[in-house]
Amino acid sequence: MAVNGVDLLTLSILLAFILVVVGVMLIIADAARGKGGEEGRGNAKYGGVIVIGPVPIVFGNDSSVVKWAIVLTIVVVLVFALLILLPMMGV
């Protein structure tokens, strides 16, 4: 399927590559502006979701970060399902 003369697979690969590059740039920028030494340690908030089949594994040390991780996981799963179903529906 083509969108304005560009194959959807090519567009998806390009978007994925751009997102990876932006993510790496954000990680580098955060590390560069982070506090050095002992004073900046010990107060990091983290959370994440690992989906293995139909079973999500949720982890984190802050409830608000965990909630955002769950919301983002739901959004990613819905977008993935949409991208799988669109070609089947002929769109």
Read off the pLDDT of residues 5-20 as tens digits, 9 standing for 90 and up: 668 788 888 999 999 9
* Total of domains in the chain: 2
Residues 38 and 46: their CA atoms lie apart, in Å, by 19
Which range of residues forms the domain containing residue 15? Answer: 1-36
Question: 42 versus 81: which is more confidently predicted?
Answer: 81
Q: Are residues 21 and 60 in the same domain?
A: no
Q: Where are the alpha helices (DSSP H) in the chain?
A: 8-33, 63-89
pTM equals 0.57
pLDDT tens-digit series, residues 50-79: 989 888 899 988 899 899 999 999 999 998
CA 52 to CA 47: how far, in whole Å?
Answer: 17
Instruction: Tell which residue, 79, 78, 83, has the closest CA to residue 1.
Output: 83
Same domain membership, residue 51 and residue 67: yes
Q: Specify whether 5 is located in the same domain as 24.
A: yes
User: Is the per-residue pLDDT at 87 higher than 90?
Assistant: no
